[in-house]
Amino acid sequence: MIDTHTHLDSCEPPNAELVAAARAAGVTRIVTVGGDLESSRAALAAAEQFDDVYFATAIHPNYTRDFVDTDIDAIRELARHPRCVAIGETGLDYFHDDASHEDQKRAFIAHIELARELGKPVMIHTRDADDDTLAILDEHAVGVKVILHCFSMADRIDECLAHDGWWISFAGNVTYPRNAPLRDAALKVPAERLLVETDAPYLSPQAQRGRPNVTANVVITAAALAVERRVPYDRFEHDEQLAAAAVFGW
Instruction: Count other C-beta atoms under 10 Å from residue 230's C-beta.
Output: 7
pLDDT tens by residue, 36-47: 999 999 999 999
Report the pLDDT value the prediction gives residue 242, as an integer from 0 to 100: 98
Average pLDDT, the chain: 97
Give the model confidence (pLDDT) of 96-115 as tens digits.
989 999 999 999 999 999 99
Domains of the chain listed by start with CATH number: 2-248 (3.20.20.140)
How large is the average pLDDT for residues 182-199?
Answer: 98
Contact indicator for 13, 50 with CB cutoff of 8 Å: no
Are 85 and 120 a contacting pair, CB within 8 Å?
Answer: yes
Query: What confidence tier does 155 reach under pLDDT thresholds 50, 70, 90?
Result: very high
Please give the pLDDT value at position 143.
97
How big is the CA angle at 224 (ends 220 and 225), to the nearest 5 degrees? Answer: 115
Phi, psi of 183 (to 5 degrees): -65, -40
- Whole-structure pTM over 0.95, yes or no? yes
pLDDT, residue 69, reads: 84
* Residues of the chain above pLDDT 90, percent: 97
Sequence-separated contacts (24+) of 77-81 with Cβ below 8 Å: 78/34, 78/37, 78/40, 78/41, 78/44, 79/114, 79/118, 79/120, 80/118, 81/44, 81/47, 81/55
